[in-house]
Homo-oligomer: A and B are copies of this chain.
């Protein structure tokens, strides 16, 4: 098996702490040859820190000098589309950070080009790799849940408006809590239903707290420049009558600091994901099942490995380009709902 040559685009935290360490642990399959950031000093610092040969300030130079097989895109959301299109144009497999893009149209274009080029385009929804989600999928496959017909999914922070980066800038990020947090649990919920497209979507977004200001638990933010949703709620209804209730928040007057969970209700059993519990009937009685020894795993490492499986043409659990386009369209329909 030959080894892929990979390059990282984007010099921020997600590259430093997630993607680079994962790729380095998978050195038998992939060699990380370059980091590219418009701020060359950032690229250089990362490259030095992790022992990567090259650092570039522009992607043109990157493609010319390194000709990577794989590109990992870790830049702000508004760059996902142009950089992915460029990478595919250079016949690279692309592993792109979530969310896929700013618009559904962009995400569909990205998927189309990947298909045309015969290259893998995948998105980094790494919660799919948690032990809990793997167990959920095994329970589903074993028939322990029956038909799943309703899912409650939420990713809520009480006062977790990120006080750094571009998280409150609408033009660069495309949205707030829904775009940054909601997509993670939405991706899982869609997986549980085999990634259908909803026939109806209804939702609302809010910015009361973001625009009013207050105590921050993830740094301070500037209410004067707050442009995105601090909370979003939505209901998705599918052709088979299954439904999803979704909520996400950067800021909400709720008790817990952080609360991320899914509840999945099936005809034979229901599951609460974190911590994993299964609620069903066993031996003629209502039974609650706990799995006390689920392993904590390195979900980024596993998701990067899943992406590489896809590049090798193997079965993979990574989020595909087509799934990413479906998800992005749902996000867009939520933002456009109830205008």
Which residues of A are at the interface with B, using a C-beta cutoff of 8 A? 135, 138-139, 142, 144, 146-147, 149-150, 152, 158-159, 199-200, 202-204, 206, 208-209, 212, 214-215, 217, 231, 233-235, 237, 241-243, 245, 247, 252-255, 257, 263, 265-270, 272, 277-294, 337-338
Contact = CB atoms under 8 A, between A and B. Distances in A.
A204 B237 contact: yes
B293 A289 contact: no
B267 A237 contact: no
Contacts of A337: 237
Q: Closest 6 A-B residue pairs measured CB to CB? A: A253-B270, A235-B235, A208-B267, A202-B202, A204-B243, A285-B291
Copies in the complex: 6
Contact of A285 (B150, B204, B215): B215
Which of A147, A149, A267, A285: most chain B CB closer than 10 A? A285
B293 A285 contact: yes
A247 B84 CA distance: 41
A289 B282 contact: yes
A109 B200 CA distance: 32
Contact of A209 (B267, B284, B293): B267
Nearest to A266: B253
A152 B269 CA distance: 23
Most B CB contacts (10 A, CB to CB) among A199, A263, A283, A294 go to: A283
A257 B139 contact: no
A106 B19 CA distance: 58
Contacts of A237: 202-204, 337-338
Given A202-B237, A233-B245, A286-B293, 13 more contacts: A149-B204, A152-B247, A203-B243, A204-B237, A206-B241, A215-B293, A235-B235, A237-B337, A255-B279, A285-B294, A286-B292, A289-B289, A290-B290
